[in-house]
Amino acid sequence: MIGFSFYSHEFNNLPLEELEKAIPQIITQEGKEQGDITVIFCTDEDILVLNQEHLSHDFYTDIITFDYSNDAYISGDLFISIDRVMENAAEHHVSMEHELYRVVFHGVLHLLGYNDKTEEQIVVMRSKENAYLTQLFHVKHDGFA
């Protein structure tokens, strides 16, 4: 099941139906089975507190992924800062929707076992994000690293 939740307040005009369709497609294409995944939308302040409490990081981020996957099913919670998504979109000259898809896909890729700690891992992660953006939404990603 794919679920959506709002941590501190509701955000309008998010493409929830499209995301609900895309997430299982990514998981299937990666050869895995979908379990329960919840996408939780929050603010910068909300995600900062989560980052401090759970990861001992004292900075804003666009997504925090809590992975509950096992061998059989891909499951987890994706906490997404809408504030960061909007700022990233402006910084990279892409639509807010495009950036939201990228961030959600990034979290799903983490659930699938991809990491982004090294330069090599980052290249693979970005390549996968861009491939799924193009394939599932025909979104142009020129100039976005």
* The pLDDT of residue 142 is above 50: no
Q: What is the pTM (predicted TM-score) of this model?
A: 0.89
Structural tokens at position 9: 């307040």
pLDDT per position as a tens digit, 24-54: 999 999 999 999 999 999 999 999 998 888 8
Domain residue limits, the chain: 2-137
Q: Are 109 and 125 in contact (CB under 8 A)?
A: yes
pLDDT per position as a tens digit, 84-125: 999 999 999 999 999 999 999 999 999 999 999 999 999 999
Domain 2-137 in CATH 3.40.390.30: yes
- 110 phi and psi angles, rounded to 5 deg: -60, -45
pLDDT per position as a tens digit, 73-93: 999 999 999 999 999 999 999
**pLDDT at residue 88, rounded to an integer:** 94
